Amino acid sequence: MEGETNADTLPVLEARLEQAQLLKKVVDAIKDLVQDCNFDCNDSGIALQAMDNSHVALVSMMLKSESFSPFRCDRNIALGINLTSLQKVLRCAQNEDILTLKAEDAPDVVNMVFESADSDRLSEYDIKLMDIDQEHLGIPDTEYAATINMPSSEFQRICRDLTALSESVSIECTKEGVKFACNGDIGSGAVTLRSHTDVEKPDRNVEINLSEPVALTFSLKYLVNFCKASGLSDSVRLCLSNEVPLLVEYALSNNSYLRFYLAPKVSPL
Partner DNA sequence: CGGCTTGCTA
Partner DNA sequence: TAGCAAGCCG
Contact flag: residue 32 with DNA (CB under 7 A): yes
> Cα separation of 240 and 244, whole Å?
7
Stretch that binds its own copies, among 57-65, 132-140, 185-193, 254-262 (CB under 8 A): 185-193
| CB-CB neighbours of 255 under 10 Å | 12
| CB-CB neighbours of 241 under 10 Å | 19
Based on CB atoms, which residue is closest to its own copies, 78 or 181?
Answer: 181
How would you class 49 by CB atoms within 10 Å of its CB: exposed for 0-12, middle for 13-18, buried for 19 or more? buried
DSSP 206: B
Minimum separation from the CB atom of position 51 to its own copies (A): 23
Based on CB atoms, which residue is closest to its own copies, 16 or 157?
Answer: 157
Contact flag: residue 174 with its own copies (CB under 8 A): no
Closest to 243 (Cα-Cα) out of 168, 158, 145:
145
Contact set for DNA, span 199-238 (CB under 7 A): 231
DSSP 11: -
β-pair type (71-73, 13-17)? antiparallel
- Contact assessment for residue 183 and residue 166, using Cβ atoms and an 8 Å cutoff: yes
Contact flag: residue 94 with DNA (CB under 7 A): yes
Based on CB atoms, which residue is closest to its own copies, 120 or 131?
Answer: 120
Which of 187, 213, 255, 267 touches its own copies by CB under 8 A?
187
Residue 137 contact, options its own copies, DNA, none, Cβ 5-8 Å cut-off depending on partner type: none
> Cα separation of 49 and 260, whole Å?
10
Contact flag: residue 95 with DNA (CB under 7 A): yes
Residue 132 contact, options DNA, its own copies, none, Cβ 5-8 Å cut-off depending on partner type: none
Q: Collapsing DSSP states into helix, strand and coil, what is residue 164?
A: coil
> Cα separation of 105 and 57, whole Å?
32
Stretch that binds its own copies, among 3-11, 136-144, 187-195, 260-268 (CB under 8 A): 187-195
Sites of contact with its own copies (CB under 8 A): 82, 85, 88-89, 91-92, 94, 109, 120-128, 154, 157, 161-162, 164-165, 185-194, 196, 206
Sites of contact with DNA (CB under 7 A): 32, 84, 94-96, 153, 231
